[in-house]
Amino acid sequence: MTSTSQPTAVITGASKGLGWAIAFALAARGWRLVVDARHVDGLAAGLPGATVVAGDVTNPGHRAKLADAVRAHGRLDLLVNNASYLGPSPLPSLADHPMTELRLVYETDVLAPVALIQSLLPMLRSSRGTVVNVSSDAAVEAYPFWGGYGSAKAALDHVTAVLATEEPELAVYAVDPGDMRTDMHQSAFPGEDISDRPRPESVVPAFLHLLDTRPPSGRYRAPELLAVPA
């Protein structure tokens, strides 16, 4: 494949968990990747050929470096806003949620994805590309102690829905991956045994299904996508 014929994706938060699992699967399919995380030790070795940009999605300078890396590739087909901040562990009630932490949850889970979408939209429009915003069941269920993170993911869902109306040539998805055995999930349930939760790799086929079949823009739950016969 020539470099310009290869589909290209940006995946935030790709050093572990779901972001890593999606990145690994797309690399295996021949995608070019621009990936980030704040701590990227071993990421370049694990994803040979990927452009690894160390940094924090809440930092405008870091986001500019991601956009520069994409422009250097000359095309963008997919943006996966996966990096996320849960908030303090154990999760606080809204009555006790420190505002500095709540701001950081919103900066990471809402404002950074919107900012990345804004800067990458011209390239996504050129390819009639796909935006995947990783959501959560906490966006739609009112779980006690999940009000900070859950309301941020609800805002991200709404961003997704409005963007879909404004950019009808794009595929714009919010995807609830379901519970997964990851560091974020462990920090939501400190001290609990979470070994019964599925590995993030088990959810990846749901994301690949979206890319392969390009259903209408909208909100999807991974278990439903996984139940669809290939």
Ligand X SMILES: NC(=O)c1ccc[n+]([C@@H]2O[C@H](COP(=O)([O-])OP(=O)(O)OC[C@H]3O[C@@H](n4cnc5c(N)ncnc54)[C@H](OP(=O)(O)O)[C@@H]3O)[C@@H](O)[C@H]2O)c1
The residue length of the chain stands at: 230
Q: Name the β-bridge partners of 37.
A: 54
Residues within the interface to ligand X (CB under 6 A): 12-19, 36-39, 56-58, 82-85, 108, 134, 136, 177, 179-180, 182-185, 200
The set of catalytic residues is 149
Complex with ligand X: residue 199 or 214, whichever CB lies closer: 199
Query: Does residue 156 contact residue 174 with C-beta atoms inside 8 Å?
Result: yes
Residue 88's alpha-carbon distances to 85, 104, 140, 158, 223, in angstroms, are 9, 10, 20, 24, 28
Complex with ligand X: residue 124 or 188, whichever CB lies closer: 188
Complex with ligand X: residue 78 or 83, whichever CB lies closer: 83
Tell which residue, 211, 197, 200, 164, has the closest CA to residue 84: 200
CB of residue 55 to ligand X, shortest distance in Å: 7
CB of residue 126 to ligand X, shortest distance in Å: 25
CB of residue 86 to ligand X, shortest distance in Å: 7
